[in-house]
Structure 1
């Protein structure tokens, strides 16, 4: 298969050249301050038919107070406060059905798996999380990538990243959880939200034990738009094909949500993964974010894989990496 990006030796040296907005910190400090309302967490026990895991339906107040849904999975018969893994999902995915879960509770840890507002259509399940602010967005290409993209104030991912920070605060507040052992993870869009949550967590007073972004999305937007040939990035091209002359306006908005910039602000250890044949999240854009991470870091490289990345191989690596940090 032909290579879709730079050779590995050049990927290691690649850096994003797009300057971050001068007011990036002010923008996110203000956004989080405007959404510093009560978490209003509600938990309700769910019968999944599983005997080794306890599951709770969770609702909390996200951006603008909108209700965000999640599942909380706990090892049955747990005692004391547990480490917790907070998980976000890929584009169009969601928390799914309550018996669908990653192996975290079977490893002895709490697992909070969080909906992305306005998505979940490919996963199904129950009680999806709507995006009440999407109705106010102007005309956009179908999907989420261009919803409200005319301005950083109205862009879809402003709400999503804020929801993610609030989810970390929820996890740390739960009586079943040790607030000093909170770890965040996700793949693709979930990987992007993981980076954003880790970068913004210090502004919200959340101290993370680690972050595991897997083949992350929403990094180095300008390069991604140049070389990504599959996945959601082409939604932006399709939008600009109709709205001629809005290119720089849109790119300016996207720059506030570029995880190359937010990665610089993360303070916790990280385990990235990258796939060198990925046409959805080009490897150079993943390396661009990885290069800016200032804390302890490592990256798993899947040389012959596309956007699926390491899958079970990466999951095994994450379990070992998380165990070393969570106990």
Structure 2
């Protein structure tokens, strides 16, 4: 187990993070959730072009912060008998989970929903779509304008929308995703306490200053270095910038999570370094477990999808 670039496993298990936590962090998120509460959701559900004989496949859209329309795939059993649901969130600059993967969950009686993140996936408005730089979008305009703040709130709106659907038990809703999707799964559970289960695989969006200090030169955290090179070459605003990023750092949201958390880490991951993940994992106070791949990086992990399917059983 080389682990040449990061902390030892023993150090990881006690690491508490580097990125500063803003003094008004809790107030910030209370205000953000209050803003979401007064934003009209305007939920629309329409039939999808994809079909399966044992499922209803539909497009779900809602309005998020700033009036942005957010899209998700909705696949659910034909009968409205009350049952569990799983929310799927995708990786950075990716797109929603394919219908065929959602059907495995529908086949055992679960509603499966896959969101396209604003500015990245299928439902991205042309004015907000970007190939990269979503991480720092809005940074210089203030914490309230951070793109990832809006994305975190979109996950909450999605969860609440799904919890209100016929056939969904609001106390049996889970979240899952890899990388950015893992981070969104955790943020959703932190901001919507009714989420019952989280299955996160090497989550992104954690301990930004630690990722930057490791200087691995890997996307997407290299966006931070590029920002300093172009906007603050002498690092005169370093403390201000990392404190602002602290509002969207999942390690600071972690203590709010009440769901059971299944976490997967790859110890050779130079994209989402293990220490940035343990910074959040070590702050979880809920029931939790860690699955470790010692010789793998940010890549396809053998057996992981089957493991997640087992973990995300009907609660």
Aligned to 1:84: 85
Shifted more, 1-10 versus 231-240: the winner is: 1-10
Q: CA deviation at 1:249?
A: 2.7
Q: Residues 281 and 92 of structure 1: is their aligned pair in 2 closer, same or farther, counting only changes over 3 Å?
A: same
1:225 and 2:226 correspond = no
Shifted more, 17-26 versus 185-194: the winner is: 17-26
Q: CA deviation at 1:233?
A: 0.5
Unaligned residue ranges in structure 1 (runs of 5+): 121-126
Q: CA deviation at 1:128?
A: 2.4
What is the correspondence of 1:133-148 to structure 2 with a 5 Å cutoff?
134=128, 142-148=132-138
Q: CA deviation at 1:248?
A: 2.6
What is the correspondence of 1:215-254 to structure 2 with a 5 Å cutoff?
215-227=202-214, 228-244=216-232, 245-254=236-245
Aligned to 1:11: 12
1:190 and 2:181 correspond = yes
Shifted more, 3-12 versus 165-174: the winner is: 3-12
Contact 2:19 2:210 (8 Å CA) reproduced: no
Aligned to 1:314: 304
1:170-205 deviation digits (Å, cap 9, x = unpaired):
110111211111111111001111111111113xxx
Q: CA deviation at 1:98?
A: 4.5
RMSD: 2.2
Query: Within 1, Cα distance between the matches of 2:126 and 2:139?
Result: 15
Aligned to 1:115: 116
What is the correspondence of 1:123-272 to structure 2 with a 5 Å cutoff?
127-130=122-125, 134=128, 142-150=132-140, 151-202=142-193, 207-227=194-214, 228-244=216-232, 245-272=236-263
Aligned to 1:62: 64
Query: Within 1, Cα distance between the matches of 2:165 and 2:237?
Result: 44
Give the TM-score of the pair, scaled to structure 2.
Answer: 0.90
Query: Within 2, Cα distance between the matches of 1:97 and 1:294?
Result: 33
Contact 2:21 2:243 (8 Å CA) reproduced: no
Q: CA deviation at 1:19?
A: 4.0
Contact 2:90 2:97 (8 Å CA) reproduced: no
Contact 2:63 2:70 (8 Å CA) reproduced: yes
1:70-91 deviation digits (Å, cap 9, x = unpaired):
000123x335022100111100
1:87-119 deviation digits (Å, cap 9, x = unpaired):
111001122665564732233211110010001
Shifted more, 164-173 versus 97-106: the winner is: 97-106
1:221-262 deviation digits (Å, cap 9, x = unpaired):
111112243221001111110112332332121011111100
Aligned to 1:124: none
1:286 and 2:288 correspond = no
Q: CA deviation at 1:276?
A: 0.4
Give the TM-score of the pair, scaled to structure 1.
Answer: 0.87
Q: Residues 107 and 119 of structure 1: is their aligned pair in 2 closer, same or farther, counting only changes over 3 Å?
A: same
Contact 1:215 1:309 (8 Å CA) reproduced: no
Shifted more, 141-150 versus 207-216: the winner is: 141-150
Q: Residues 254 and 6 of structure 1: is their aligned pair in 2 closer, same or farther, counting only changes over 3 Å?
A: same
Query: Within 1, Cα distance between the matches of 2:290 and 2:98?
Result: 31
